[in-house]
Amino acid sequence: MRALTVTPGVKDSIQLENIDQPSPGSSQALLRVREIGVCGTDLDLNQGFYGEAPPGSNYLITGHESLSTVEDIPKNPQGITKGDLVVPTVRRPDNCMTCVHGESDMCLTGNYKEHGIKGLHGFGSDYAISDIAFLVKVPPDLTDVAVLLEPMSVAEKGVYQAFKIQERMLWKPKKVLILGAGPVGLLTSYLLRLKGLDVVVTATRASDSLKARLAQRAGATYVNTMEQPLLSLGKFDLIMEETGSAQIALQATGMLNTNGIMCFLGIYAPTEAPEDIGAFYKDVVLGNKTFFGSVNANINYFRMGLKNFSEIQRQFPGILHDTISVRIPPEHFQEAYSPNKDNIKTVIRFQN
């Protein structure tokens, strides 16, 4: 079968190989992969920044965002059968307290595994395997957009956690700032528009770019920060930081309203601390402000994402479909790995 592989730690090692089809264990399903999505993590894997092959393998099959058809599956309590459409979650738990509790996204040890990233092959191949307990069944009417469920689960977790934390008091947010209009940023904007919030999305693309138009179709305001400075946008009750830029994140901390909350979803490079950290701490205290980080998502957030996908389809028809800007066959994989700033989400289609 065809498989997109990288050699962990080796730059530009991505290639399409012909390898043997995997054999599922007794608690696993054999999946016929339809599509995988390519994200920044995949590009980083191909840069050799991280990644870990499964034990005994010198390569890692990439692809953690995926949609498959079940090819073979033993009888299971979830009621998933051959022919069902499924999205597997990415992370597999170890035996720490939170993992055992079903929250592998909150793993205490770091000894979890992740399909296509850390210690388990991904889904970028004609066939793949996953534990049955981590499959989310997808309704047929979401077939053409469900490959976006994994990035959506990341948005769901950040937003859910922010609202959960804010149960610490009476909180009625009105204005939301989303920094960054990549796939997760846009999906976050659709999600928060479903809640009826006043959403501003910022990025550096032009005001008539595809990103801008998608945000606007969901009723959000798009701001190109090359034209309008971030700090001129006022104060916000909720800020979702999705650029991964420490500089932008730092600027935005001062834009949080009293009692507000800011969620960090990026991977930040090391940088020097601001000169006046004291003024920042004072502002945090006097404004009862909360800052928190969020990574990965467990199966519950995938399920929330599916429900909200149906609602997004109803309220903003076609928007999820158009968020996938490029669909290519596996043989054209290099297109997905050469940066193109006008792309939003590239999907590699293994089977129609």
Residues making contact with Zn ion (CB under 5 A) = 94, 96, 99, 107, 109
Single out the residue of 276, 231, 277, 234 nearest to residue 251, CA to CA: 231
Compute the CA torsion angle 211, 216, 218, 220 (nearest 10 deg): 100
Query: Which CB sits closer to Zn ion, 111 or 271?
Result: 111
How far apart are CB 117 and Zn ion at their closest, in Å?
15
Q: Identity (one letter) of the amino acid at 9?
A: G
Closer residue to Zn ion, CB minimum distance, 100 or 279: 100
| CA-based nearest residue to 42, from 341, 338, 349 | 338
Query: Considering the complex, what minimum distance in angstroms separates the CB of residue 340 from Zn ion?
Result: 37
Rounded to the nearest whole angstrom, what is the least distance from the CB of residue 251 to Zn ion in the complex? 34
Cβ-in-10-Å burial (0-12, 13-18, 19+) of 246 comes to middle
For Zn ion, which is the closer residue by CB, 92 or 211?
A: 92
Q: Compute φ and ψ for 230, nearest 5 degrees.
A: -55, -45
Residue 96 or 295: which CB sits closer to Zn ion? Answer: 96
Closest CB 100 distance from Zn ion, rounded Å: 8
Q: Closest distance between Zn ion and the C-beta of residue 298, in Å?
A: 11
HSE-up of 201 (CA within 13 Å, CB side)? 31
- E strand or H helix at 185, and its extent? helix 183-194
Helix (H) and strand (E) counts in the chain? 10, 19
Which residue is associated with the tokens 């980080």? Answer: 293
Nearer to Zn ion, 294 or 323 (CB): 294
Identify residue 79 by its one-letter amino acid code: G
For Zn ion, give the closer residue by CB, 103 or 283. Answer: 103
Nearer to Zn ion by Cβ, of 109 and 271: the residue is 109
Tell me how far, at minimum, the Cβ of 122 lies from Zn ion, in Å. 20
- Indicate the residue among 109 and 315 with the shorter CB distance to Zn ion: 109
Q: How far is the CB of 297 from Zn ion (least distance, A)?
A: 15
Segment 273-276 long-range contacts (CB within 8 Å, at least 24 positions apart): 274/250
Which residues neighbour 98 within 8 Å (Cβ) at sequence distance 6 or greater? 104, 106, 107, 108
Closest distance between Zn ion and the C-beta of residue 159, in Å? 23
* Contact assessment for residue 73 and residue 30, using Cβ atoms and an 8 Å cutoff: yes
Rounded Cα–Cα distance for residues 59 and 120 (Å): 10
CA distance 312 to 218: 9
Closest-CA residue to 267 (of 4, 50, 92, 7): 50
Shortest Cβ 134–Zn ion spacing (Å): 14
- Which of 81, 109 has the CB closer to Zn ion? 109
Helix (H) or strand (E) holding 297: none
Least distance CB 133 / Zn ion (angstroms): 15
Please identify, using beta-carbon distances, which residue of 109 and 228 lies nearer to Zn ion.
109
Q: Cα separation of 203 and 222, whole Å?
A: 8
As a whole number of angstroms, the distance between CA 76 and CA 233 comes to: 52
